[in-house]
Every structure is written in C-alpha cells, then in structure tokens.
C-alpha cells in the first residue's frame, strides 16, 4: 500500500512539475468499491450467503454452546466438585477448538469464493475502465486511495459501478 502511494505521489509530482502543452486529465477509482458495489457483486453475495448458510449456522451454534458452557462454569464453579469443574473446563476447551476450526474453515472458503469472484470480474472491470478512458479522454487512472486529496469530480467510481451494472 505504501509502495502504491509512493509511486502515485511520484507520478503526480512528475505530472505537476513538467510543463505540458495539453492539460493532463486524471481520474480516480476505488477499485474495491467499484467491484463489490456492482449488481453482479450483490448477486454473488446473495449466492454466497445461501451457499454457506449451513456452515454459518453451525459456527454460530458451536459458539453459543461454548458461551453457555463458559457462563455455567463462571456461575456454578463455586458449587461444583473438582471433577465436574475439570470436565466442564475440558468441554469448554473442546468447544472452543471446534469453533476455531469451523470458523477458520468457513473464513477460508469465503476468501476463496471472493478471490474467484475478483478473478472472474477483472476482465469486465478492465473493459469498463478502457471504455471510461475513451469516453472521458483520460490520460491517467489512479487508485483513489493513492490521492491525499482530490476534487470529487475526479472520482469515477460510481460511473464505473454504473457501467458494470449496464453490462449483460
């Protein structure tokens, strides 16, 4: 991220320092927002929620079971025998491990699906950016995050989202 900002700053300084006969037209895009705010991303998100609903419910159930065991251990520890307390502690640790395993597995599956979506969406995004450059006669497109300050009219993120939504 620092590298992108550094390179962007150097590019911007270079553009400002050279006398250019024609005005350089610059555009900024928040690539993540453009991809994940499109209708295709919303549809993808809805499919992911449906696809991983069972795993999510299982993670939540294990979390709730662990919470109940922890609460019981806190509230009843004083009146339990040492063996009961030890068994309850072992059960709690087992539930905590199960939760971590299931949560990690779910997070990994979700990350893989998001990456798959990004890879499938990239060609459309590249095409839409090329169309935007041609329509707006832009010389440079930069990530919005690279700019310390920018006039809002330089931000083409919403236009990119609209163009992505118009595809298909």
Q: pLDDT tens digits for 137-151?
A: 999 999 999 888 889
Q: Where are the domains positioned within the chain?
A: 2-166
3-state SS track over 84-142 = HHHHHHHHHHHHHHHHHHHHHHHHHHHHHHHHHHHHHHHHHHHHHHHHHHHHHCCCEEE
Fold classification of 2-166 is Protein Binding, DinI Protein; Chain A (3.30.910)
Region label for 117, one of left (φ > 0), alpha (ψ between -120 and 50) or beta (otherwise): alpha
Q: pLDDT tens digits for 102-140?
A: 999 999 999 999 999 999 999 999 999 999 999 999 999
Q: Which residues pair with 49 in a beta bridge?
A: none
CA distance 35 to 146: 18
CA distance 113 to 111: 5
Q: Which residues pair with 140 in a beta bridge?
A: 26
CA distance 71 to 65: 10
Residue 77 has a pLDDT of: 81
CB 59 within 8 A of CB 99: yes
Residue 129 has a pLDDT of: 95
Q: What is the DSSP string of 3-61?
A: HHHHHHHHHHHHHHHS--SSPPPEEEE-HHHHHHTSHHHHHHHHHHHHHTHHHHHHHHH
Q: pLDDT tens digits for 7-52?
A: 565 556 555 555 454 588 899 999 989 989 999 999 999 999 999 9
Q: pTM to 2 decimals?
A: 0.69
Residue 11 has a pLDDT of: 58
Q: Structure tokens of 28?
A: 């900024």
Residue 155's SS3 state is strand
CA distance 163 to 156: 11
């Amino acid at each position: 991220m620092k590298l992108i900002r550094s390179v962007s700053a150097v590019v911007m300084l270079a553009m400002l320092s050279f006398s250019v006969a024609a005005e350089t037209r610059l555009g900024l895009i928040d690539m993540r927002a453009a991809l994940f705010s499109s209708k295709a991303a919303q549809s993808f998100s809805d499919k992911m929620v449906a696809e991983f609903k069972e795993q999510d419910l299982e993670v939540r159930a294990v979390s709730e079971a662990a919470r109940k065991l922890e609460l019981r251990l806190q509230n009843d520890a004083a009146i339990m025998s040492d063996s009961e307390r030890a068994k309850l502690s072992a059960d709690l640790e087992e539930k905590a491990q199960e939760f971590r395993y299931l949560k990690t597995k779910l997070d990994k599956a979700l990350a893989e699906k998001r990456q798959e979506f990004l890879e499938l969406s990239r060609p459309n995004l590249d095409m839409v950016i090329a169309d935007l450059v041609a329509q707006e006669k832009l010389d440079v497109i930069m990530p919005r995050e690279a700019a310390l300050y920018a006039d809002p009219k330089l931000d083409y993120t919403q236009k990119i989202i609209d163009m992505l939504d118009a595809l298909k």
